[in-house]
A = this chain, B = another copy of it.
Amino acid sequence: MTTATRTAYDELKALLRESATLGSVGSLLNWDQETQMPPKGGDFRGEQASLIARLAHERLTDQRVGELLGACESDSELLADQQTAASLREIRRDYDIATKLPSSLVTEMSQTFCGGVEAWRVARGNNDFNAMKPWYKKVVELNRRKAECLGAPAGGELYDALLDEYEPGMTSAQIEVIFKPLRERLTPLITAIGASGVKPDESINKVNAPLPDQIRFVELVAKAVGYDFGAGRLDVSTHPFSETIGIGDSRITSRFSDANVADPVATTLHEAGHGMYEQGLPRDKHFGTPLAEACSLGIHESQSRMWENQVGRSKPFWTWLLPQLKKTLGSDFDGFTADQAYACVNAARPHFIRVESDESTYNLHIMLRFDIERALIRGDLSVDDLPGAWNERMKSDLGLTVKEDRDGVLQDIHWPMGAIGYFPTYTLGNLYAAQFWDTINGVFPDLDAQMERGEFAPLLTWLRENIHAHGRRYSAPDLCQRITGKPLSHEPLCNYLEAKFKPLYNL
């Protein structure tokens, strides 16, 4: 490595670190807005956030970044280090995406999507699809323009350019290859569950518990699985999320109601899963470079879903958890067994709302959105026909008749906020989680026994070493191949769901 190039790479990293630091400040503005900010602070918060976003974007797209990157890329000694080579590959990716989008389009998108979210909050409340029509049309149009700027991959379609932002390297054709057999095995399972006549006892979710005790309890759960409260915190918010504020500071939120302790436990495990991934990224060493960033949204979701489902909806987990629950939340829970709790947290039935769906039906919601948003970008479906297309699919896929658009096409924030190509990453997360889980069970044959004892450190350490520590060094498909020895497939998830639901529903 020549001295000049080392200097170029160091200068490049310093510029990117400044951009990332501004990004982290933007994260604090967002976290604070969702959890702490008083209502009258809202208008100005948008001004703060857009200034910080602009400054971060200016640094990332600085011509100097391009020059330095070019200098680094032409230095064979620098590229000989595989980690550095991976870092430069991903910096190039980010730089190209950021510079391909004209700043006028970025501004127009940010303003439109901001307005779209505000309009959606009102429209959903009023169950008024017509009010959202102009916004959805704008979202489709802007996303098409964005995709044209980014360019579809060779042989791919426009939609792939959007998908690529959230799940680098994945195409809609590849997704189709996995989603098709997934659907073919899920549909008969869901039908059989519906026909089984088994009704799990859900009375444990009817027991009331005071909010402060529930919070204390889920904090205990998050801590037990390995979420580090020294580098994070848990707050209450309507829509749970995780947000990294900077090095050593990855926060999560959860939501609560009077009864139903299963939901806060699942939500907290989900967000703690995201949070532990964030806490495991090597920011201390690589902050500002892709090596300190999450691999993809699908891999991120694999971490949240694994802790929520493979761990948090397992019988060994509830065998360990139930005594803790009784100790913290009181004698009203004394009568329940781990079997009851396990059946309750896995109660399966088709639901209008994606985020309230069980593991068996959840992925059908994603496929519905994937097909619809792809058709919108292709121009095969117009926004005018959106509710009709949605409701038809809900009927054919899940047997549900949508009565109100707020329980249908208006339910999710993703489209109003301009995110097209995002939804598939949820099912990719479920698929990665199941495939990783198979590998992990091979590594730890006594995993169930560990969970029954409340020992989660070996699992977390494995995830840290095999997934978290790599940041974006490997693409998601490469990481999957590296860890599991195979490309991503529908089979592990299907096997996992059948193995869980067949005994629960006497199939």
Contact = CB atoms under 8 A, between A and B. Distances in A.
Interface of A: 18, 21-22, 24-25, 28-29, 32, 36-45, 47-48, 51-52, 55, 228-233, 245-249, 251, 287
A342 to B, nearest CB: 33
B47 A21 contact: yes
B44 A249 contact: yes
A429 to B, nearest CB: 26
Given A38-B229, A43-B247, A55-B55, 9 more contacts: A18-B51, A24-B44, A25-B48, A38-B230, A40-B228, A40-B248, A44-B247, A45-B249, A48-B246
Contacts of A247: 41, 43-44
Interface centre among A48, A51, A228, A249, by most B CB within 10 Å? A249
Main secondary structure of the interface of A (DSSP, over half): helix
A245 B37 CA distance: 9
25 contacts: A21-B48, A25-B29, A25-B48, A25-B52, A28-B28, A28-B29, A28-B48, A36-B36, A38-B229, A38-B230, A38-B232, A38-B249, A38-B251, A39-B230, A40-B230, A41-B231, A41-B245, A41-B248, A41-B249, A42-B248, A43-B247, A44-B247, A45-B246, A45-B249, A55-B55
Nearest to A45: B246
A249 B51 contact: no
A32 B32 contact: yes
A40 B52 CA distance: 24
A29 B247 CA distance: 14
A76 B36 CA distance: 46
Contacts of A40: 228, 230-231, 248-249
A287 B48 CA distance: 13
Nearest to A248: B40
A407 to B, nearest CB: 32
Nearest to A17: B47
A233 B231 CA distance: 24
A24 B248 CA distance: 23
A97 to B, nearest CB: 24
Nearest to A25: B48
Nearest to A287: B44
Contacts of A25: 25, 29, 48, 51-52
Contacts of A21: 47-48, 51
A434 to B, nearest CB: 32
What are the nearest 6 A-B pairs in CB distance?
A41-B249, A40-B248, A44-B247, A40-B231, A44-B246, A41-B248
Contacts of A287: 44
A288 to B, nearest CB: 10
B43 A248 contact: yes
Contacts of A47: 21, 246
A486 to B, nearest CB: 37
A21 B246 CA distance: 20
A38 B246 contact: no
Contacts of A245: 32, 37, 41
Nearest to A54: B18
A18 B230 CA distance: 34
A453 B7 CA distance: 71
Contacts of A22: 51
A25 B23 CA distance: 12
Given A22-B51, A38-B230, A233-B38, A32 B43 contact: no
Nearest to A246: B44
Contact of A38 (B24, B29, B45, B231): B231
A21 B251 CA distance: 25
A28 B229 CA distance: 21
Contacts of A52: 25
A141 B453 CA distance: 61
A20 to B, nearest CB: 10
Interface centre among A39, A41, A48, A52, by most B CB within 10 Å? A41
A246 B249 CA distance: 23
A335 to B, nearest CB: 30
Contacts of A246: 41, 44-45, 47-48
A363 B51 CA distance: 43
A45 B249 CA distance: 9
Contact of A44 (B29, B39, B55, B248): B248
A230 B32 CA distance: 15
A65 B58 CA distance: 21
A21 B22 CA distance: 14
A246 B38 CA distance: 11
Nearest to A233: B38
Contacts of A248: 38, 40-44
A372 to B, nearest CB: 39
A39 B230 CA distance: 6
